[in-house]
A and B are shown apart, each in its own frame.
Chain A
């Protein structure tokens, strides 16, 4: 009986270890794919969808340089992005270096079977508490990520691939985050004529905000002036 229990426990521990190794190996493979890209400049459109912000669609340029330099420039106008948590490329999702990867099974996401992997940072000072990756194992692409942070709340990223899938660069990226209620005092806005209907006000209480990036063009591995990241 004792032997049976020992064998069972050993097999459970072994399966977890094997799964952890598989998960780690998969994350490393995805990382390796992304590391083909040393730098890029992506051009596209940015759509901000927060219930209480009326904003036009703007044209943006995203500059990236390995390992973690990232700069978003709106070609003209004002840009509105959620504070702290915007990780607008796949590399930044895999920015953790000291982590434990846990295999959390499989799921079907938008009709594609994906592997769910949870990344737990080992560094206690890390702002990230946990990141869940939904990886298309066949194409080695991150389809979705969900991150919980200590200071900047929780956010999700969904990526849709097309022409640059071979390098792990998405054509479209949707960044979702939680938003707090918005209410400005009339003394600040000097807007004393508040005739908004209560159902209209209720619509503005939507708790999820989204920023959508639709990339039309990538310039990859052509080098980027370091000054861009300083400005």
Chain B
């Protein structure tokens, strides 16, 4: 199984499209960083427009931590497409090239075959996320410096002290890894029902787009189904950037306002990953391989 895993990794990183994803991520992040470097103050003024009428907020607001938060907010909606490009091709690509039957004729079980393929897709997903972390967090910290982070939410604003932020990003990236692995698992699951990769890629993105629209619209009928959609839970990384306050309304360093929400969402995402991969194993075992 380990040999197959290595082989799958080799195949992933041999394809030019793999590097296209890294290039696309780099371009997107660099564009956002240049934009904020040039007009960060204007962007901050826009974001803080409501508060700015009543308060003077001074300091390095457009710092590396804030820039990274903005990038993650924007990018974690688009990264799934880049993940689907590879994960949705894992089995359908073999079927398309006619190599699936050949691969399954090797002395490995179908379970090992699925797990090795999914493990390779997961490594790609995690490397992509690590690349996002390097560019969005560490490069932004180097360019924009570090300071407290000031974030506006729908009903309140949160200021987190500089020394209390980095560990939150570690948590947020771990959570984002779970979210992206869920996307990889979905794309991987869909990839075995097609003879080419276009179908599963489009299907994965369609599911994510439709679910995200449901998740973002505050319509009562949608609110009832929101908790059952994995896209609702994918954004729970933001919970790392909310703090508890004491009776005097002072932020308590090192706290998270809703840790239960993070744990609940993480468990739901893990359940989705296990579910998608489990069904993939089951259905491939039952499948009559003709290509």
> Which one of B54, B218, B249 lies within 8 Å of A82 (CB-CB)?
B54
Say yes or no: is B235 at the interface (Cβ < 8 Å to chain A).
Answer: yes
Q: Which residue of B lies closest to A152 (CB)?
A: B54
Of the listed stretches B56-64, B104-112, B122-130, B282-290, name the one at the interface; the rest are far from the partner chain.
B56-64
> Which one of A58, A76, A179 lies within 8 Å of B54 (CB-CB)?
A179
Are A78 and B154 also in contact (CB < 8 A) when A54-B245, A83-B56, A190-B73 are? Answer: no
Chain A proximity mask over B207-236: 1 for CB below 8 Å, otherwise 0: 000000001111000000000000010011
Determine the chain B residues whose CB is within 8 A of the CB of A50 once the complex forms: 55, 249
Contact across chains for A57 and B57 when beta carbons are under 8 A apart: no
Q: Which residue of B lies closest to A206 (CB)?
A: B249
Task: Please measure, in the bound complex, the distance between the C-alpha atom of A191 and the C-alpha atom of B215, giving whole angstroms.
Answer: 11
For chain B, give the interface size range: 35 or more
Q: How many residues on A have C-beta within 8 angstroms of the other chain's C-beta atoms?
A: 37
Say yes or no: is B42 at the interface (Cβ < 8 Å to chain A).
Answer: no
> Which one of A57, A58, A83, A201 lies within 8 Å of B155 (CB-CB)?
A201
Task: Please measure, in the bound complex, the distance between the C-alpha atom of A182 and the C-alpha atom of B236, giving whole angstroms.
Answer: 23
Contact across chains for A184 and B58 when beta carbons are under 8 A apart: no
Q: Which residue of B lies closest to A49 (CB)?
A: B249
Contact across chains for A77 and B148 when beta carbons are under 8 A apart: yes
Task: Please measure, in the bound complex, the distance between the C-alpha atom of A162 and the C-alpha atom of B173, giving whole angstroms.
Answer: 49
Of the listed stretches B45-53, B83-91, B95-103, B136-144, name the one at the interface; the rest are far from the partner chain.
B45-53
Task: Please measure, in the bound complex, the distance between the C-alpha atom of A80 and the C-alpha atom of B216, giving whole angstroms.
Answer: 30
Are A193 and B215 also in contact (CB < 8 A) when A49-B249, A79-B59 are? Answer: yes
Task: Please measure, in the bound complex, the distance between the C-alpha atom of A204 and the C-alpha atom of B155, giving whole angstroms.
Answer: 8
Say yes or no: is A125 at the interface (Cβ < 8 Å to chain B).
Answer: no
> Which one of B57, B154, B250 lies within 8 Å of A80 (CB-CB)?
B57
Determine the chain B residues whose CB is within 8 A of the CB of A58 once the complex forms: 161
> Which one of B57, B232, B248 lies within 8 Å of A49 (CB-CB)?
B248
Task: Please measure, in the bound complex, the distance between the C-alpha atom of A100 and the C-alpha atom of B59, giving whole angstroms.
Answer: 39
Say yes or no: is A225 at the interface (Cβ < 8 Å to chain B).
Answer: no
Q: Which residue of A lies closest to B63 (CB)?
A: A78
Say yes or no: is B238 at the interface (Cβ < 8 Å to chain A).
Answer: yes
Task: Please measure, in the bound complex, the distance between the C-alpha atom of A75 and the C-alpha atom of B167, giving whole angstroms.
Answer: 22
Chain B 143-175 interface residues, beta-carbon cutoff 8 Å to A: 147-148, 150, 152-162, 164
Contact across chains for B155 and A78 when beta carbons are under 8 A apart: no
Chain A proximity mask over B67-88: 1 for CB below 8 Å, otherwise 0: 0000001100000000000000
Task: Please measure, in the bound complex, the distance between the C-alpha atom of A52 and the C-alpha atom of B216, giving whole angstroms.
Answer: 23
6 contacts between A and B (CB under 8 A): A74-B59, A78-B57, A79-B57, A82-B55, A191-B154, A204-B156
B: which residues have CB within 8 A of A? 46-47, 49-61, 73-74, 147-148, 150, 152-162, 164, 215-218, 232, 235-236, 238, 242-243, 245, 248-251, 253
